[in-house]
């Protein structure tokens, strides 16, 4: 099995995946992307992960907005999705990056100082729960 790699570039908290078509190893930093022929680069939406599996891509190498972070210690995972979601202030799907998300018609549920709400993404049909913590109040009088 070939060990293909994919570059993840963060733009405004939204990941974009890049892979070279028909090449065993894709780029691992922003300079490599600039040097590649545009016709050889495929831009993939993060929700296309089944296609990545089908292509036999085993690792995803993230790069930060400054182009520095590109080693195996930062492979994509749940912590990375959590960071992305919080960085977008809950305005983008943590799975596909779409801003077409909505509460599932249910009111906010609360218990003590915590609350949660079910969220749905129209872009990739993912669902998850937002979690909130009481930090204070604002006097309306």
Residue 82 and residue 59 share a domain: no
- Give the pLDDT of residue 35: 55
Structural domain count of the chain:
2
Which among 15, 18, 60 has a CA at the least distance from the CA of 41? 18
Residue 106 and residue 46 share a domain: no
What is the domain extent for residue 13? 4-76
Q: Cα dihedral sign for 77, 83, 86, 90?
A: negative
Provide the strand spans (E) within the chain. Answer: 4-11, 14-20, 41-44, 57-63, 101-103, 109-111, 114-121, 127-133
Mean pLDDT of 48-57: 60
Residue 86 and residue 69 share a domain: no
Residue 133 and residue 106 share a domain: yes
Residues 63-96 have pLDDT tens digits of: 554 544 444 444 444 566 777 788 888 888 887 7
What is this structure's pTM?
0.43
Q: Write down which residue in 58, 76, 94 finishes a domain.
A: 76
Residues 102-125 have pLDDT tens digits of: 877 778 888 888 888 888 888 888
Residue 72 and residue 9 share a domain: yes
Residue 72 and residue 13 share a domain: yes
């Amino acid at each position: 099995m070939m060990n293909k790699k994919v570059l993840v570039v963060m733009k405004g908290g939204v990941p974009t995946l890049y892979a070279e078509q028909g090449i065993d190893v894709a780029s691992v930093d922003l300079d490599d992307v600039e040097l590649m022929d545009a016709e050889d680069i495929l831009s993939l939406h993060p929700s296309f992960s089944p296609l990545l599996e089908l292509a036999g891509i085993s690792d995803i190498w993230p790069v930060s907005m400054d182009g520095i972070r590109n080693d195996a210690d930062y492979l994509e995972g749940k912590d990375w999705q959590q960071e992305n979601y919080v960085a977008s202030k809950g305005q983008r799907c943590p799975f596909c990056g779409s801003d077409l998300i909505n509460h599932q018609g249910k009111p906010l549920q609360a218990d003590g100082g915590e609350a949660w709400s079910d969220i749905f993404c129209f872009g990739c049909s993912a669902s998850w729960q937002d979690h909130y913590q009481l930090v204070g109040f604002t006097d309306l009088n």
